[in-house]
Structure 1
Amino acid sequence: MSGTTTKSGKRPSKGFTLGRQAFAKISAVEGIKMPRAMDAEFREFDRKGLSPEQRRKAIAAKYGKTR
């Protein structure tokens, strides 16, 4: 068990990323569904091979508030 716990005996918290399908399944339980237009945008991002930074910029440009 060495290396898997901290001094307090708790496991260190590590983040992980959910894929789109896993997120959709979890959201469905909550009654949340992604609009078709947004789903199409994400598929287009995949098709174009956009980097995470490029995806964030595209989403911010479309949905972000202008200051």
Structure 2
Amino acid sequence: MPKKKTTKTPQRPGTFTIGRARLERISAVEGIETRPDSRAMFADFDRRGLSDQERRSAILEKHKRNA
């Protein structure tokens, strides 16, 4: 009996995740470009090894409105 293919991260049925490079290529077709400061921010996240939640928090903090 063949082995079942497994993934590193569990996925919900009907969903999948694409990487940053593929997202940029898809966005380019739609005329959307990632700004250089955003690329630098994501590179910094990678360098610092931030978790998904830490990345989301940093992005929200950067873009939140000063009320």
Instruction: Specify the alignment match of 1:61 in structure 2.
Output: 61
Instruction: Specify the alignment match of 1:15 in structure 2.
Output: 15
How many angstroms apart in 2 are the aligned matches of 1:62 and 1:23?
A: 21
1:54 aligned counterpart, secondary structure: helix
Question: Highest Rg: 1 or 2?
Answer: 1
State the identity as a percent: 44
Structure 1's unaligned 5+ residue stretches are 1-12
How many angstroms apart in 1 are the aligned matches of 2:15 and 2:66?
A: 31
How many angstroms apart in 2 are the aligned matches of 1:47 and 1:18?
A: 20
Structure 2's unaligned 5+ residue stretches are 1-12
User: How many residues in Structure 1 have an aligned counterpart in Structure 2?
Assistant: 55
Instruction: Specify the alignment match of 1:7 in structure 2.
Output: none
Give me the CA root mean square deviation: 1.2
Larger relative contact order, structure 1 or 2 (CA cutoff 8 Å, min sep 6): 2
